[in-house]
Amino acid sequence: MFADCSLWNFRLSRIIKEVRFVRDWARKIKEKQVTVGVLGLGYVGLPLAGEFASAGLKVVGFDIDEKKVRTLNSGRSIIKHVPHSQVKEIVTSGLFRATANMARLKSVDAILVCVPTPLTQNREPDMQFIISSTKTIAKYLQRGQLIVLESTTYPGTTREVMAPILEGGGLKAGRDFHLAYSPEREDPGNKDFSTGTIPKVVGGLTKKCCEIACRVYDIAIVRTVPVSSLETAEATKILENVYRCVNIAMVNELKVVFDRMGIDVWEVIGAASSKPFGFKAFYPGPGLGGHCIPIDPFYLTWKARQYDMPTRFIELAGEINTSMPRYVVTKTAEALNEHCKSLKGSKVLVLGLAYKKDIDDLRESPSIELIELLRQKGAKVDYNDPYIPRTHKQRQHNLRMASKKLSAIMLAGYDVVLISTDHSDYDYNWIVKSARLVVDARNATAAVRGAARKVIKA
Ligand SMILES: NC(=O)c1ccc[n+]([C@@H]2O[C@H](COP(=O)([O-])OP(=O)(O)OC[C@H]3O[C@@H](n4cnc5c(N)ncnc54)[C@H](O)[C@@H]3O)[C@@H](O)[C@H]2O)c1
């Protein structure tokens, strides 16, 4: 009888606590009193923190990189496309503060996790950042907190990897704290869309988790798209990236085939784009780059193996896309050959190091592989990139190079200028006019008059 009574009391007190948490959340959201913690202040985390602070919420940014923390707190940005003025504004308003002191995780209502998800040397998911950051959160986890993973990953990560770690201290996900997944769709350098104007897909461990996460994002993001589960939200991001990866591979393959036939693939894509329905243009290039498209599809491949399922489209697309730098090097060698020169001993200037135009991110950039391949063939290689004054050490590369200053005399001093990234800052007329020979892997010189005499597309 007494045992029944205490069990009943225990259940009742739990229900009261749950109701209180939900009421607390509703009040905080209504009054915009939610304090948001963003864990990982990189290309994704910093703009996200900026959106919440600009919406009037208090934001604490957490990062293990103390230098980054100091820079941000001094009002300076760490990313080219996030202006210093924006960081200064949110710091001086008192709404944003960065810290490496993880104990402060206790003081926030929502924790949005934006840590890296790279691949290991064996092209398998490297979960070290998700695991270590989740362990940190678990250490300071508070009843009623909302934890949202934003990093791109395979379906199952939030439930199978994060939840057990978070529950290690005795609090139960979905009951004592809320757990959700909401993929980041940041597209650095995109002039039409930014973090705040891109709708956010949200999946929760429970309906309540999803609802609370949606209501928090609704404060700062244009629209939320709730889905039925964590796994659906995780799979949505993977679909978006596989879609791009496969379509880019298709046009890369067509580029090679059409080139052999003497057809310009870019002209074909331009013409096909005139169809008002049923066609979406994707463009070929020197290979895939960035933190997402070359990596994320392989997170699914790894997971699918556990279900004994192959991911043939992803594997084939990966094969075609990774062969592109070699194709561009072969085209460069052929172009030099036409001028009675060998690649060995030639001076090559690579224009653009970033993985795509108008940004300063060189992660997985095909330009790096191009430089390494050209060097292996005996070429003397320099680069210019207005956004990357010098290279820094990467996980698998360390070029130790500095950007060369452009001038007409300098351009004319190279046997070939290889356009790898089509930054808008470049004056392509002047480049073609000044260079002796140009290999263009981006169709950047399409509008240059008389380009055909000097430019080889690759
Ligand atoms: N960069 C993009 O354009 C983009 C777009 C969409 C999605 N994503 C995804 O978002 C995630 C983050 O990518 P990113 O480009 O912002 O990475 P990033 O490398 O620019 O930033 C990650 C930050 O996390 C910090 N960090 C690492 N471990 C930590 C820990 N344990 N605690 C606190 N901070 C930690 C790092 O110091 C770094 O500042 C990845 O999963 C990526 O796939 C990236």
Q: What is the pLDDT of residues 443-456, one digit of tens each?
A: 999 999 988 889 99
Residues 6+ apart with CB under 8 A from 251: 265, 269, 282, 283, 284
Residues 6+ apart with CB under 8 A from 421: 351, 352, 353, 354, 355, 356, 357, 365, 367, 385, 442
Taken in order 343, 348, 353, 355, the sign of the CA dihedral is negative
How much is the pLDDT for 24? 80
How much is the pLDDT for 166? 98
Nearest to 14 by CA among 176, 179, 163, 211: 176
For the stretch 20-75, pLDDT in tens is 767 788 888 888 889 999 999 999 999 999 999 999 999 999 999 999 999 999 99
Q: Which of 39, 63, 239, 240 to mutate to test the pocket of ligand 1 (most atoms within 8 A of CB)?
A: 63
How are the residues of the chain apportioned to helix, strand and coil, as percentages rounded to the nearest 5? 45, 15, 40
Residue 421 has pLDDT above 80, yes or no: yes
For the stretch 212-228, pLDDT in tens is 999 999 999 999 999 99
Q: Which of 114, 210, 292, 340 is catalytic?
A: 292
Residue 292 is a catalytic residue: yes
How much is the pLDDT for 2? 55
Confidence of residue 334 (pLDDT cuts 50, 70, 90): very high
Taking phi over 0 as left and psi of -120 to 50 as alpha, with beta for the rest, 400 belongs to left
- Residue nearest ligand 1's atom 18 by CA: 42
How much is the pLDDT for 10? 66
C-alpha 304 to ligand 1 mean position (Å): 24
Confidence of residue 134 (pLDDT cuts 50, 70, 90): very high
Percent of the chain's residues with pLDDT above 70:
97
19 or 111: which leads in pLDDT: 111
**Which residues in 326-398 belong to E strands, given as ranges?**
347-351, 380-384
C-alpha 152 to ligand 1 mean position (Å): 9
Q: Which residues pair with 201 in a beta bridge?
A: 225
Atom of ligand 1 nearest to the CA of 115: 24
For the stretch 139-197, pLDDT in tens is 999 999 999 999 999 999 999 999 999 999 999 999 999 999 999 998 888 889 999 99
C-alpha 113 to ligand 1 mean position (Å): 8
For the stretch 13-30, pLDDT in tens is 767 766 776 778 888 888
Residues 6+ apart with CB under 8 A from 150: 44, 45, 48, 112, 113, 114, 181, 182, 183, 184
* Residue in the block written with tokens 């230098």: 67
For the stretch 76-99, pLDDT in tens is 999 888 999 999 999 999 999 999
Q: Which of 43, 288, 362 to mutate to test the pocket of ligand 1 (most atoms within 8 A of CB)?
A: 43
- Residue nearest ligand 1's atom 25 by CA: 40
H-assigned helices in 41-160: 45-54, 66-73, 84-92, 128-140
Q: Per-residue pLDDT averaged across 328-338, rounded?
A: 98
C-alpha 41 to ligand 1 mean position (Å): 7
- Residue nearest ligand 1's atom 41 by CA: 151
Question: What's the mean pLDDT when you consider all of the chain?
Answer: 94
CB 383 within 8 A of CB 349: yes
Ligand 1 is surrounded, with C-beta below 6 A, by 39-45, 62-65, 68, 114-117, 129, 132-133, 136, 151-152, 184, 186, 188, 291-292
Q: Per-residue pLDDT averaged across 306-326, rounded?
A: 96
Atom of ligand 1 nearest to the CA of 152: 41
Atom of ligand 1 nearest to the CA of 296: 43
Q: Look up residue 169 and give its DSSP letter.
A: G
C-alpha 291 to ligand 1 mean position (Å): 9
Residue 295 has pLDDT above 70, yes or no: yes
C-alpha 254 to ligand 1 mean position (Å): 33
